[in-house]
Each structure stands twice: as C-alpha cells, then as structure tokens.
Amino acid sequence: MLQIKQKGAKISIQNIEKSPENKLGGYLWKYNGKVYDNAYILGYYIPREKNVISKGTLYFLLNRVGNFMVGKWVGCNYDSEFTWGYGVIAKEKDFAQGKMKELLKLKTGLSNKKDGDRI
C-alpha cells in the first residue's frame, strides 16, 4: 500500500509497509518528484531505513485520466550497482498486475497520445 501526496506539481509517495511479495528484500522507501505537463512524473526514491543501500530515479507516464501510472526505475540495490525495471502504480492490484504483464511484453516505448494510446 502506498501513500501519495501532491501539492501543485510536487508529488511524494511512500510505502506504508514492506512488500509482502518480497519478504527478504523489501524495505520502506520514499519518493520525491514533480509532475510535468500533467503527464510525466520524474523524481528519485531513497530508503527510509538505515543500512538499506537501494536508491534511484523514476520516470513515470501518467494515464490521461489519472487512474494509474506506468514507468521505469533505474538505481542500485544489494544485488546490483546498476539495475532497472518497470513499475506500475494503480488503485487495484489486479489492474496493476495486468499492466505489468503488458509492460514486460513491450519491444518499443510507450505512448500517451490519442493516435497511439497504449497505456
């Protein structure tokens, strides 16, 4: 579960609890970023716990209606000094998991434009 706050273009996100899907590697984190053009969310995440080295950047694309966001993270963790992956933030877990499956199949980038609306 996430707590999301927005004030103007600034956005902050933090997890309320460690990930139940990743019991060994989960940690508490916070994200600070900014929304650009009502579509692009750029920022960074850092741990809220001592002795956790994971940190990095996020680039998310906000769905035009604002129901969800999808994007990519780049950073470091215990396993790698440089790693990356996809991310989805949505209200419904099943919806988020479906979007993640779509992202994992992508061979090109995403579009939020009407003629190529793929998110």
- Which residue in this structure is represented by tokens 């998310």? 60
Number of domains in the chain: 1
| Cβ proximity of 119 and 112 under 8 Å | yes
Q: How far is 12 from 3, CA to CA, in rounded Å?
A: 8
For position 100, what pLDDT does the model report? 94
The identity of residue 103, as a single letter, is L
Domain that holds residue 63: 2-116
Query: For the range 59-63, what are the long-range contacts, defined as Cβ-Cβ under 8 Å and sequence gap of 24 or more?
Result: 60/87, 60/89, 61/110, 61/112, 61/119, 62/35, 62/38, 62/112, 63/112, 63/119
pLDDT for res 64 = 85
* pLDDT (0 to 100) of residue 3: 96
pTM of the entire structure? Answer: 0.83
Extract the tokens encoding 105: 């199949």
Rounded Cα–Cα distance for residues 1 and 54 (Å): 19
3-class DSSP assignment, residue 118? coil
Q: Report, as ranges of residue numbers, the positions in the chain whose pLDDT lies below 70.
A: 111-119
Note the pLDDT of residue 112: 65
pLDDT of residue 119: 59
- The span from the CA of 92 to the CA of 62, in Å, is 16
Q: What is the pLDDT of residue 61?
A: 95
